[in-house]
Amino acid sequence: MSDQSTLLKTEIGYYHSQRPEMLKYVPDTARHILEVGCSEGNFCQALNRPDREIWGVEINPEAAQIASKVCHKVLIGDFDAIFDQLPANYFDCVIFNDVLEHLYTPWETIKKVKLLLSPSGVLVSSIPNFRYIANLITEVLIEGEFRYKPEGGILDDTHMRFFTSKSICRMFREQGYEILQHEGIRPCKSWKEKLFINLSFGLLKDARYKQFATVAKPVRL
């Protein structure tokens, strides 16, 4: 089974997600942009400008067909399978919005991405936070469970890997990236959850966020 075959069954809203909160992490100067796991191209459409060339990679043929209406080029298939079709040193930004956690070896994937990036290119990712307070309290502390779920979320049954803020940063650094920006997105809204975090005296400050957005650039030797 290939790394991205699990994306045939994705989280609720995957194909229609616009991810407006991720737009600010894409450099305004980026002209050649690739989104891996572009689904129906909603995020690509939000990025589109006359001075930009937008590419997408999508494993689902039906979603890829829709994305092709807003992208300049869409490659259908597993990222590893179509990798050789992507131009080297070409993209100013490569995006993985909630994709890396679906892969068996995401560290190998981001290592390969370095070959695709232009000299000033960056990799932008959104990755679920396993330490998200609702996941810790409801699933782990109260229920004492680790049950995969078919309806999406942090314990989605298509997730192959689980990350915290620290492990995300470590993965990028170990693969030769400099982290330019790393911050939590989609904070919890429940006052009870916020109170619990505040009572931890900073120990659980990262648990406030459902996902972490990261902008990283290869270290050029």
Binned average pLDDT, 10 residues per bin, the chain of 221 residues: 40 60 97 97 96 97 96 96 96 97 96 97 96 72 63 74 95 98 87 64 76 96 76
For residue 191, the model assigns a pLDDT of: 60
For residue 199, the model assigns a pLDDT of: 64
DSSP annotation of 58: E
- In whole angstroms, give the CA distance from residue 47 to residue 72: 12
- In whole angstroms, give the CA distance from residue 212 to residue 186: 9
Q: Would you say 9 and 148 are in contact if contact means Cβ atoms under 8 Å apart?
A: no
Q: What token pair was written down for 215?
A: 């902008």
Q: Can you tell me which residue has the tokens 């070959």?
A: 115
User: Which residue ranges make up each domain of the chain?
Assistant: 3-127+163-186+210-218
Length of the chain: 221
Kindly provide the residue ranges of all beta strands, DSSP E only, lying in the chain, ordered along the sequence: 32-36, 53-58, 73-76, 91-97, 117-128, 177-187, 209-218
What are the CA-CA distances from residue 93 to residues 11, 116, 121, 201 (Å)?
24, 9, 5, 37
For residue 13, the model assigns a pLDDT of: 46
For residue 192, the model assigns a pLDDT of: 64
Q: Would you say 173 and 179 are in contact if contact means Cβ atoms under 8 Å apart?
A: yes
Exposure string (b/e) for 26-45, b if CB count within 10 Å is 16 or more?
A: bbeebebbbbbbbbbbbbbe
* 149, β-bridge pairs: 156
- In whole angstroms, give the CA distance from residue 63 to residue 31: 24
Q: What token pair was written down for 123?
A: 């990799």
3-127+163-186+210-218 carries CATH number 3.40.50.150 = yes
Secondary structure (DSSP) of 147-194 = --BTT-STTBTT------HHHHHHHHHHTTEEEEEEEEEEE---HHHH
